[in-house]
Amino acid sequence: MKNKYYPHLASPIEINGLTFKNRIFGAPMSNPELDPDCHMREEDIAFHANRGKGGLASVCIGLGIVEAVGRSHTKEVILYDDMSLPSLKRMANEFHKHNCMATMELAHGGKFGAARSHSGADYSLIGPNNELNAQGVQVKAMTDEQIEATAQAFGDAAKLVKEAGFDMVFIHGGHGWLLGQFASPYFNKRTDKWGGSLENRMRFSLLVIEKVREAVGPNFPIEFRMSGSELIPGGYDIEEAVEMAKMIDGKVDIIHVSAGIHENDDVFVLTHPSMFVEHGVNVKYAAEIKKHVKTPVATLGGLNDPDMMEEIIASGKADIIEVARQSLADPYFPEKAFCGKKDDITKCCRCYTCFFNYLSNRNYCCAFNPVIGDELENKFGFPATTPKKVAVIGGGPGGMEAAITAAQRGHAVTLFEKRDVLGGQIVHEKHIPFKKDMYNFVEVLAKRCQEAGVDIRLNTEITPEEVYEMNFDVVMSAVGAKPIIPNIPGIEKAKGLNVLEDETPDLGQKVVILGGGLVGSEVGIYLDMIGKDVTILEMKDTWAADAYWMHKVAMDQYMRKGTIDIKVNTKAIEITDEGVVCETAEGTIVVPADSVLLATGMKANREVANEFLNTAPRVFEVGDAIKAGRVVEAVKVGYYRAMDI
């Protein structure tokens, strides 16, 4: 019998004798940290297992490196070491508890091995050609013997993974990694049997597939990742990708079609789609390849909506959906979808919080999910507690997360919000197309508040005296932040970002935005999208200095093709009826404006927050009441402060 909500997405699929319970697989996600020997820690196992627990049919552990010279950074599972077996066996066992198949990625960085991964002054990397890589490290063209040895290393790694109890191996042949470097006309400049024609460029990948098949046997699934287009001048496009897929058709069991290469920032934000491109932007490559092969085809790329996933499978564009970031935002979204609870799914907003923390802070993180990275300590649910009477002051994301968590733990929670709607500052983003998933998040939180039994009191600007008189045991102060208002003549003529809550904001044609940080830049993009003439004024020497670099790359792509005028090193000194008077290095200028919007930053509303101190035996502060910041800090603190009750 088929699932009544998602009959195609929920249907099992048999791959080389192995039945996967549905069509949603976990794409490879690597580990930001491992133990000193590059083996998986209990924290890493708990992170991946939580993804499997939520209903994914398979989860792939990313970046298993097949030989030492192929390491691209310091935290990759080393599959050339038999001592990786114990942690991998633990990982496979955890997946199998949830009827989730265990998959391991086999990868090799080739010419993009990072310098910090290796030691010694005279080391070199390997790749298709003799060259220096971007870090100035010597890359030596692989000899026939080295190619054979590396192919055998893939096979040996696959054998170890199978011995560990994994159910499938995943060969990384895309994104500009070693096999992709050989397959690419952009990277591969060889003139021997390993370069030139497509047949020659694919020879290495086919050899690796052969060695892996020999190692695991005929009845063990092999998934092969390729880019459906490299998305760069001189790289291969979908026409050549189709021919590549035909070459591996029948030799592997899943053709996993991604896109792009990692070593180009503009392409990176398409390989891992930003919020500025449409959902499913890379599905077209899988759909085209599927027309030409018999092997099941997998697709991915920022997919977060089960309705879209169902359509992709039902229409025959792909056989399998793969997700990574969405399984961070909501690891349990498959189970929710298949049980008719899609309205409770937290959708990934493609903000790159996870990437930033992975690369910079070396931890797992999600802006919307406070448990990500702390799965081990949350493994057994909420600790026991004595029910208490709790007040939450403020209905932004942090306040709502605190209210939900406290109510789910058995406390009697009342949430006071002075406005007529929950959501805090995110309400400003209701009509911004690329922020629809962000706005969906606060709608989901509001629904969860109701379902958790939170007593929600809108249009209620409660006073500290009233709170004190109501004898709460705990007060959660989530009063938020307030705008920083420059002290310049005419500032009263400027408008706050709350004007964006109207679907057609009354701003006139020429709009000047004071402040070119992340918020001001995003607002500028939105106003440009709806046809306004936008000028952004920023005192610093760069715009969006507070944005994650991946997100800024994505914004920069839009800025280059849009018509926004960004003026850095520019200080507004007065707002007049004609526009904004500014100081620049070249002298004083006037920027004409019909409207001026304030995006000069936020600061904690300490005056209000301080008033709620001592209104109950315990007062906890949450989110912007402590320090103006991002959603990720507000949600995480809201969750853990509620756990402290």
Q: Is residue 46 part of a domain?
A: yes
CB 220 within 8 A of CB 210: no
Query: Where residue 136 falls among pLDDT bands split at 50, 70, 90?
Result: confident
> Is the domain of 451 the same as that of 523?
no
Tokens 């820690």 appear where? 41
Residue type, 119: S
Query: Where residue 74 falls among pLDDT bands split at 50, 70, 90?
Result: confident
Going 541 to 544 to 550 to 554, the CA torsion angle's sign is negative
List beta partners, residue 477.
393, 621
> Is the domain of 294 the same as that of 187?
yes
Residue 336 confidence (pLDDT)? 98
Residue 299: which H helix or E strand, with range?
strand 297-299
For 601-614, the pLDDT digits (tens) are 999 989 999 999 99
DSSP 9-23: TTS-EEETTEEESSS
Torsion of the alpha carbons at 403, 408, 412 and 418, rounded to the nearest 10: 20
Rounded Cα distance between 182 and 208, Å, is 12
Closest by CA to 208, choosing from 231, 178, 234, is 178
Query: Where residue 120 falls among pLDDT bands split at 50, 70, 90?
Result: low
Q: Provide the whole-model pTM.
A: 0.94
> Is the domain of 225 the same as that of 112?
yes
Q: Is residue 203 part of a domain?
A: yes
For 322-378, the pLDDT digits (tens) are 999 999 999 999 999 999 999 999 999 999 999 999 888 889 999 999 999 999 988
> Is the domain of 630 the same as that of 518?
no
Long-range contacts of range 298-302, CB-CB < 8 Å, 24 or more positions apart? 298/25, 298/223, 298/254, 298/255, 298/256, 298/257, 298/322, 299/257, 300/27, 300/256, 300/258, 300/324, 301/258, 301/259, 301/271, 301/272, 301/273, 302/272, 302/273, 302/274, 302/277, 302/348, 302/350
Q: Residue 433: which CATH number? A: 3.40.50.720
Residue 172: which H helix or E strand, with range?
strand 168-172
Residue 64 confidence (pLDDT)? 95
Going 372 to 376 to 379 to 381, the CA torsion angle's sign is negative
Q: Is residue 166 part of a domain?
A: yes
Q: Is residue 233 part of a domain?
A: yes
Does residue 115 carry a pLDDT above 70? no
Range of the domain at 476: 389-483+603-643
Q: Is residue 524 part of a domain?
A: yes
Task: Classify residue 587 as left (phi > 0), alpha (psi -120 to 50) or beta.
Answer: left
CA angle 414, 418, 419 (to 5 degrees): 115
> Is the domain of 323 the same as that of 463?
no
Rounded Cα distance between 3 and 287, Å, is 24
User: What residues contact 87, with CB distance under 8 A and at least 6 apart?
Assistant: 39, 40, 41, 44, 45
> Is the domain of 633 the same as that of 595?
no
> Is the domain of 479 the same as that of 503?
no
Q: Residue 551: which CATH number? A: 3.50.50.60
